[in-house]
C-alpha cells in the first residue's frame, strides 16, 4: 500500500510539472511572438476610441484633445504593463493563475456583467461539461457493447463495415460534422435548433428551462459522439480481439461458458486498463474539438470562450486562465487513470 501511495505521489508531482511547463510555454508563445503586446495595444486603442467622444465634448481644441489622449495612453500602457518587457510582465501572470488569483478580463464579461476572470471561466465550465460528459457516457456505452461483440465476430461482414465506419469517423473534422448536422436536422428537417443554448425567448421555470437546454444540446452532443464513437469502438474491438486469443479465454470457452459471460469476465475485465485509458484520454482530447463544436453551435462553454478571447478583442488573461483549466483537466484525467490502474490491474497493486 505504501508503494502505491508513493507511486501516486510521484506521478502527481510529475503532472504538476507538466502543468507548470505548459503555462511557461503559453507565456513564451504570447510574449516572444509579440501577440501579448498587440492584444494590449488593441485593448488600449479600443478604450481611447470610446474615450474620444466624451473628451471632445469638454475639450474643443484639437491639439489639447490629442495631448489628453496621449497622456491617457501613457497611463494605460503603465497600467497594463506595456512599459515593461514581456518577460518581466507575463511570469507574474502565471504565478497569479497558480494561486487562483486570475484577475480581471479586459473585454470579456460574465452573464452578470462581472469582469472577474474566475467568475467568467467558472460560469462556462458546467456548460462544457454537460456536452463532454454526456458524449463520453454515450461513447463509452456504445463502444464497450459494440466493440466487445465485434471481438467475437472478427472478420465478418459486420466487423468490416463497422471498422470502415470507424476509420471514416476518425477522419471527420468535428466542426464539419456539426455543420452537416445543422444543415440536415435544423434547416432541411426543421426538427432541431441550429444553435444557441435556449429558445428565444427562453421558457420560464427551472424544469422547462432545463428541458430546453437539453433540447439545444442534442446536436452538439450528437456531433461529439459521432466524431468519437468510431475510433473508440475500433480500439475496444482491437484490444478485445487480442485478449480473446489468450489461453485463459480458450479454457473458459472449453468449460462451456456463455459468450456474454466470457466477454464480461474473461475479455473485458482483462482488457479494462487499456480500454479505460482510451476513454479517459479521449475525453481529455475531446476538449480541443469542443472549441470548434461550441463555436459552430454557439454554445456558451469554455470552447466558445476560448474562441471569443482570441478572435474578438484578444484577452490574454482569459487565454492563460483557460489554458490552465484545460491542462488541469488533462492532469486530473491522468491522475484518475493512475488510481483506476490500481483498482483494475492486480499487477499494479502487487508489482
Quick one: pLDDT at residue 200?
80
CA 213/CA 203 separation, integer angstroms? 10
Burial class (CB in 10 A: 0-12, 13-18, 19+), 216: buried
Quick one: pLDDT at residue 348?
53
CA 92/CA 95 separation, integer angstroms? 5
Q: Please report the beta strands in 66-161, taking only residues with DSSP state E, as ranges in sequence order.
A: none
Helix axes 35-58, 316-344, angle to 10 degrees: 140
CA 177/CA 26 separation, integer angstroms? 30
Contact 232, 278 (CB under 8 A): yes
Nearest alpha-carbon partner for 281 in 235, 243, 344, 322? 235
Contact 192, 180 (CB under 8 A): no
Beta bridge partners of 104: 116
Quick one: pLDDT at residue 173?
81
What CA–CA distances, in Å, run from 117 to 92, 322, 330?
A: 16, 9, 21
Quick one: pLDDT at residue 51?
82
Q: pTM (2 decimals)? A: 0.73
Q: Show pLDDT as tens, one digit a residue, over the chain (351 residues).
A: 666 677 667 777 777 777 777 777 777 777 777 767 777 777 778 778 878 888 887 877 778 888 888 888 888 888 777 777 777 776 776 676 666 666 778 778 888 888 888 888 888 888 888 888 888 889 888 888 888 777 777 778 888 888 888 878 777 788 888 899 999 999 999 899 988 888 888 887 778 888 898 999 999 999 988 888 888 888 888 887 877 777 777 787 788 777 777 777 777 777 777 777 777 777 766 666 678 888 899 998 888 888 888 876 677 778 878 887 887 787 777 777 777 777 766 555 545
CA 233/CA 268 separation, integer angstroms? 13
Residue 40 grid coordinates: 494590449
Whole-angstrom Cα Rg for the chain: 26
3-state secondary structure the chain: CHHHHHHHHHHHHHHHHHHHHHHHHHHHHHHHCCHHHHHHHHHHHHHHHHHHHHHHHHCCCHHHHHHHHHHHHHHHHHHHCCCCCHHHHHHHHHHHHHCCCCCECCCCCCCCCCCEHHHHHHHHHHHHHHHHHHHHHHHHHHHHHHHHHHHCCCCCHHHHHHHHHHHHHHHCCHHHHHHHHHHHHHHHCCCCCCCCCCCCCCCCCHHHHHHHHHHHHHHHHHHHHHHHHHHHHHHHHHHHHHHHCCHHHHHHHHCCCCHHHHHHHHHHHHHHHHHHHHHHHHHHHHHHHHHHHHHHCCCCCHHHHHHHHHHCCCCHHHHHHHHHHHHHHHHHHHHHHHHHHHHHCHHHHHC
Amino acid at each position: 500500500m505504501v508503494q502505491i501511495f508513493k507511486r501516486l505521489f510521484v506521478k502527481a508531482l510529475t503532472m504538476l510539472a507538466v502543468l507548470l511547463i505548459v503555462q511557461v510555454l503559453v507565456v513564451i508563445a504570447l510574449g516572444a511572438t509579440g501577440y501579448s503586446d498587440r492584444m494590449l495595444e488593441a485593448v488600449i486603442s479600443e478604450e481611447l476610441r470610446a474615450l474620444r467622444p466624451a473628451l471632445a465634448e469638454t475639450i474643443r481644441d484639437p491639439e489639447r484633445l490629442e495631448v489628453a489622449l496621449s497622456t491617457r495612453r501613457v497611463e494605460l500602457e503603465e497600467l497594463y504593463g506595456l512599459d515593461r518587457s514581456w518577460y518581466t510582465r507575463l511570469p507574474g501572470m502565471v504565478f497569479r493563475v497558480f494561486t487562483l488569483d486570475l484577475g480581471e478580463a479586459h473585454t470579456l464579461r460574465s452573464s452578470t456583467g462581472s469582469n472577474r476572470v474566475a467568475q467568467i471561466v467558472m460560469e462556462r465550465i458546467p456548460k462544457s461539461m454537460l456536452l463532454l460528459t454526456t458524449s463520453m457516457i454515450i461513447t463509452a456505452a456504445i463502444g464497450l457493447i459494440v466493440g466487445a461483440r465485434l471481438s467475437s465476430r472478427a472478420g465478418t461482414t459486420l466487423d468490416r463495415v463497422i471498422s470502415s465506419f470507424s476509420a471514416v469517423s476518425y477522419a471527420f473534422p468535428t466542426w464539419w460534422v456539426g455543420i452537416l448536422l445543422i444543415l440536415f436536422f435544423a434547416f432541411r428537417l426543421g426538427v432541431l435548433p441550429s444553435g444557441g443554448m435556449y429558445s428565444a425567448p427562453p421558457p420560464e421555470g427551472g424544469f422547462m428551462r432545463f428541458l430546453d437546454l437539453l433540447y439545444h444540446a442534442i446536436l452538439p452532443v450528437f456531433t461529439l459522439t459521432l466524431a468519437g464513437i468510431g475510433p473508440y469502438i475500433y480500439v475496444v474491438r482491437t484490444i478485445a480481439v487480442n485478449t480473446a486469443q489468450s489461453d485463459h479465454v480458450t479454457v473458459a470457452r472449453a468449460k462451456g461458458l456463455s459468450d456474454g459471460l466470457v466477454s464480461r469476465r474473461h475479455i473485458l475485465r482483462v482488457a479494462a486498463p487499456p480500454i479505460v485509458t482510451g476513454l479517459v484520454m479521449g475525453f481529455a482530447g475531446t476538449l480541443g474539438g469542443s472549441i470548434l463544436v461550441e463555436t459552430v453551435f454557439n454554445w456558451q462553454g469554455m470552447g466558445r470562450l476560448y474562441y471569443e478571447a482570441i478572435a474578438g478583442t484578444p484577452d490574454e488573461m482569459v487565454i492563460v486562465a483557460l489554458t490552465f483549466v484545460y491542462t488541469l483537466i488533462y492532469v486530473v484525467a491522468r491522475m484518475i487513470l493512475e488510481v483506476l490502474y490500481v483498482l483494475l490491474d492486480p499487477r499494479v497493486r502487487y508489482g
